[in-house]
Amino acid sequence: MPLICFASPSGGVGRTTLTANVARELSRAGARVIALDLDPQNALGTHFGLDLRDAFGFLATLRYAADPRAAWRAALRSSPSGVSFLPYGQLGMDGANANSASLIEQPEMLGTAVADMLSVSGVTVVADLPAGASPALAAVLPHADIVIVPLLPHPASVAQLPGIEAGRFAGGGSQAAVKSRLEAGKLRVLMNQWGAPGKLAGIIAQGVAQQMAGRLFGAVRYDEVVPEAAAAQRLLVDFAPASAAAQDMAGLAAAIVTQINATSRDRQEVPARSQQLRNAYGLTSLAEIMPQIQSTVALKADR
C-alpha cells in the first residue's frame, strides 16, 4: 500500500501540518490511514489530540524492540478524526542522537516495521520526516511511493533548489543510489504559504515555481487560520473547513491519490471513494494564482 513522505532540507516549512491534514483528508476519502511521526520533535500527534505529557512512542522504543513489527503495533494510537497515528515519543537530545545512531547501524529495523505497515490491506501511511538528511529518511525511502518537499516563498528556498533536484537532502548511501530512489516521479515539490505578505515573497515564489515546474505539485495558500488550528490542536477541516488552506489540503490529497494511481502497482487498492475526492477538489494551480507564470510552467512541465 502507499507510503507518502513529507521531507525537506530545512525545518519550519510546514511538513508536520501538511502530514496531519493530508492524512485526515485521505481518511475522509475512505482510506485506512496511519500518520507516522519520524521526527524527534514528536509534534505530529498533537494534531490528533495526543496528550503532551504522554512520552511513549514508536521510534523512542524501536531500538529496544525484539521485533520491529510488534513495536509499531504496540505504539499505534487512534484519534477522533479516524486517523491512526504513531507518535515518535519524547526523548531528550541524547536519546534522539542515540536513535539516529541506531538507525544508521540498523536501518532494516525501521524498514521492516514500515514494510509491515504497508502490508496491511487498505492501509496508507503518511510520514513526517525530520528536516535535512536523516537515517530515518534513508531507511524508508526505498518503500516510498511519493516524497513531497514543501518550500516557502523565502530566500532560503532558492538556495535549496540544487540540493533538492540532486536528492542530496535525502542522504544515506551513495549519491547515485539516493538519486535513483528519487527518480521515477517520486520527488515532488509543493509551494507552501503561497501568497504570503510581502513583494519579495511573491517574486521568490514565482522563481521557485518556474525553476521546479517539472516537479511542481502545486500550492497551499498562506492562511492565518493554519497556526490558529495548530495552537488549538485541531485539524484544519475540523477547525475551519471553509478556509483556503483547508481546501488546498483536500486538493493536495486528491493530487496524491492521482499520482499513486498512476504509478503504484497496487493502484486498484486505493479506495474507490477517493474518486469523489479527486472530483471535488483540485490542488491549487500556481498558474491560476499567478497567471503570468502559466506559459513558463507549461513549457517546463512538457520537457
The full 3-state SS of the chain, as one line of letters, equals CCEEEECCCCCCCCHHHHHHHHHHHHHHCCCEEEEEECCCCCCHHHHHCCCCCCCCCHHHHHCCCCCHHHHHHHHCECCCCCCEEECCCCCCHHHHHHHHHHHHHCHHHHHHHHHHHHHCCCEEEEEECCCCCCHHHHHHHHHCCEEEEEECCCHHHHHHHHHHHHCHHHCCCCHHHHHHHCCCCCEEEEEEEECCCCHHHHHHHHHHHHHCHHHEEEEEECCCHHHHHHHCCCCHHHHCCCCHHHHHHHHHHHHHHHHHHHHCCCHHHCCCCHHHHHHHCCCCCHHHHCHHHHHHHHHHHCC
> Rounded to two decimals, what is the model's pTM?
0.85
pLDDT of residue 16: 97
Classify domain 3-301 at the CATH class level.
alpha beta
Give pLDDT tens digits along the chain (303 positions): 899 999 998 889 999 999 999 999 999 988 999 999 999 999 999 999 888 888 899 999 999 999 999 999 999 999 999 999 999 999 988 989 999 999 999 999 999 999 999 999 889 999 999 998 899 999 999 999 999 999 998 888 878 887 787 777 776 544 444 555 566 568 889 989 988 888 888 888 777 777 777 788 888 999 999 999 988 889 999 999 999 999 999 999 998 988 888 876 544 445 444 444 444 444 454 444 444 333 333 333 333
Per-residue pLDDT, 174: 45
